[in-house]
Amino acid sequence: MTGDQTEDEFAAYQGLAEDSGDHRWAFGTGFTDPLEGIDTSVPDGVDAAALAAYCLMLGDDALIFSHRLQQWMTRMPELEEETAIANIALDLLGQARMLLARAGRAEGAGRDEDQLAFFRAEPEFRNVRLVEPEDADFAGLVGRLLVFSAWRLALLGQLTGSADPVLAAIAAKGAKETAYHRDYAAQWVIRLGDGTAVSHARMQAALGVVWPLVDELFLADPVTAALPGVAADPAAARAETAAVLDAVLAKATLDRPDAAPLAPVAGRTGRDGVHTEALGYVLAELQSVARAHPDATW
C-alpha cells in the first residue's frame, strides 16, 4: 500500500467522524462524557485520591469482565442467550464508563475514561483476578457470572448509601442491572446443575475452576480502608454473597467446591496490580487499536 492510499483511507474515515447534520448514519457512535451535566465535585472530608483509586477498582472489574463477555458474542448456544449476554456486557461497560469517568474527575489530572481504559499498563489495573480468565464453556461463563454478580450486587447495595453522591447514584443504577445479571446466571446454574448428568458434571467442574478466585473478593484493602462511609466494606459483603451462592447451589444440586484460594503473590492480589497471565491477552485486544492510533476520534 502506498502512502497516498493510506492518506485517502484516513480521509474517508475522517469524513465519517465529523459532525454532520444527519447523525443517524451511525447510531450510537457519538460518545460523550457519561457524567456530563452532573456535579462531580468531591464532598468535603472525602480523600479525593482514594476515591479515584476506588472508582478505578470497581470500574476495572466491570471493564475487564465486560470484555470477556463480549468475546462470547456469536458463540452463544441460542440467540436468546446471545442477546442476554450482549446486554449484560453492555450494562457492565456502561458502569465501567461512569466509574472510570468518576475516577478521572476525582483524580483531577485530566485523564478521561478513554485514557484510563486504553493507556494504562497491566500493573495499573486494579480489578480482581476473578474477571480475567477465559471460560472454557457456557457453564464456566454462568458460574463466573453468578459469583461476580452476587458479590458486586452486595457491594453496590452498600454503595447506594455512599457519602459520595455520584458513586451512590452510579451504584443505585448499577444495582438494578446487576440484580438481573445475578438472576440470569442463577437460573442457568440451576438449569445446568439440576439438568442431565453431563450438564451437572460440567457445571460442577466449572465451579471448581472459578472457586480459587472467590476468596480474594472479600479481602481488605488500604483504599477501601481510607474511605469510611464512602466505599463498600468487602468483608461485610461476604455473608450476603455466601447466602446467595449457597441457596443457588442447593437448588442446583451442586456442591460448594472445596478448593484452596489462589494465593496472593508476595501478599498482593488484583487490587494491588498483580494479575494472572490472562489479563495481558485481554488488554492486548482491548487496547491495541487505541494505542496504534492514539489521536483517533470516534
Q: Looking at 131, 190, 206, 254, which residue binds another protein (CB under 8 A)?
A: 190
Residue 214 is a binding residue for another protein (CB under 8 A): no
Sign of CA dihedral 286, 215, 206, 181: negative
Residue 63 is a binding residue for another protein (CB under 8 A): no
Residue 204 is a binding residue for another protein (CB under 8 A): no
Residue 22 is a binding residue for another protein (CB under 8 A): no
Query: Which one of 52-60, 95-103, 224-232, 266-274 is the stretch in contact with another protein (CB under 8 A)?
Result: 95-103
Contact between residue 190 and residue 247 where contact means Cβ atoms under 8 Å apart: no
Report angle CA 91, 103, 95 to the nearest 5 degrees: 5
Name the residue with cell 498483580.
274
CB closer to another protein out of 95 and 269: 95
Residue 30 is a binding residue for another protein (CB under 8 A): yes
Residue 110 is a binding residue for another protein (CB under 8 A): no
User: How far is C-alpha 154 from the geometric centre of its chain's CA atoms?
Assistant: 15
Sign of CA dihedral 229, 174, 209, 250: positive
Residue 226 is a binding residue for another protein (CB under 8 A): no
Residue 144 is a binding residue for another protein (CB under 8 A): no
Give the nearest distance from C-beta 251 to another protein in angstroms.
5
Residue 61 is a binding residue for another protein (CB under 8 A): no
Neighbours of 48 (CB within 10 A): 15
Q: Which amino acid is at 190?
A: I
CA distance readout (Å), 11 to 28, 290, 291: 21, 18, 20
What phi, psi does 230 have (nearest 5°)? -110, -50
Residue 78 is a binding residue for another protein (CB under 8 A): yes
Residue 298 is a binding residue for another protein (CB under 8 A): no
Give the nearest distance from C-beta 173 to another protein in angstroms.
4
**Side-chain half-sphere exposure of 183, counting CA atoms within 13 A:** 7
Residue 18 is a binding residue for another protein (CB under 8 A): no
Closest by CA to 16, choosing from 34, 29, 32, 31, is 29
Residue 94 is a binding residue for another protein (CB under 8 A): yes
- Binding track over 257-296 against another protein, x by CB under 8 A: ----------------------------------------
Q: Looking at 121, 220, 247, 265, which residue binds another protein (CB under 8 A)?
A: 247
Neighbours of 15 (CB within 10 A): 9
Residue 219 is a binding residue for another protein (CB under 8 A): no
Q: How far apart are CA 34 and CA 116, in angstroms?
A: 14
Give the nearest distance from C-beta 256 to another protein in angstroms.
16
Residue 97 is a binding residue for another protein (CB under 8 A): yes
Q: Which three cell numbers stand for residue 212?
A: 480459587
3 state DSSP class of 265 = strand
Q: How far apart are CA 149 and CA 142, in angstroms?
A: 10
Residues of this chain that interact with another protein (CB under 8 A) are 23-24, 27-28, 30-32, 34-38, 77-78, 80, 90-95, 97-98, 165-166, 168-170, 172-174, 176-177, 182-183, 186-187, 190-192, 195-196, 199, 244, 247-248, 251
